[in-house]
Amino acid sequence: MKQYLDLVQHVLEYGQRKPSRTGVDCITCFGAHYKVDLAEGFPLLTTKKVFFKSMLRELLWYLSGENHIRNLRKHTRIWDAWADEDGNLDTAYGYYWRNFPSAQRNGDGEWHVREVDQIGYVLKTLREQPHSRRMVVTAWEPGNATTSKLPPCHYTFTFQVQGNRLNCHLNQRSGDVALGIPFNLAAYSTLTMAIAQDVGLEPGVFSHFIVDAHIYTKSLDGGNANYDHLPGLREQLEREPRPLPQLTIAKKPLDELTFEDFQLTGYDPHPVIDFAVAV
């Protein structure tokens, strides 16, 4: 997919070397952005194989609102490194999507907390006031962010209706170009398509802004070579993108969709490229 390859090239051209929290050096670019039109096909990378099933399991787990990985672990272990020994995860995107704590004062001046289903609010607003500019979902809770092992990377997203098309814009504070961004692109595109079919709209544009877009690389003295993502990304830049696949989603309410309701067809990617995860 050309937009992704352009992002990789942009970071390589304009990025600067920096240390990272993980102890692995990065080539980092500030304020990267791309967008894709979902009418042109499902944006699953073809310059390497992306594991669609793992991405979909993760997205459905988000939508469940769970803050532990017991059910997710049955299908994929992509969050195991950040969970505690009991499987609890303090950075559970879906928990905040579906149960965001909102503190309010009552008439006596006492604080009380109610939980807000932000996805439910978006669905209701799309049906009743589709041209609202207030369809924002956040996973960033400041108190959690100060203590979490890994605060949310993709922290807020907004929906907008243009004509009969549903658009989505994602803001991400930190984006691993080789590993994370392809998953984020596929997941939020899937979410946009699933919500669109629920409320009777067509999928529109997915727009993605990354504050810190980075590529992990070995240090100048040759250390951390196992985390060097540059060779794999350069290999992708040499590969010719292939036609995008199609994603078909059953016509069901969002919260009734199951794994079997998503059908990916026509996916013919180049071979897998392995990238090590920097934890």
Catalytic residues: 153
Contact 64, 94 (CB under 8 A): yes
Q: How far apart are CA 11 and CA 206, in angstroms?
A: 20
Q: What three-state secondary structure class fits 249?
A: strand
Return the amino acid letter for 77.
R
Q: How far apart are CA 220 and CA 230, in angstroms?
A: 13
Q: How far apart are CA 46 and CA 272, in angstroms?
A: 10
Residue 222 backbone zone (phi > 0: left; psi -120 to 50: alpha; other: beta)? left
- Find the length of the chain: 279
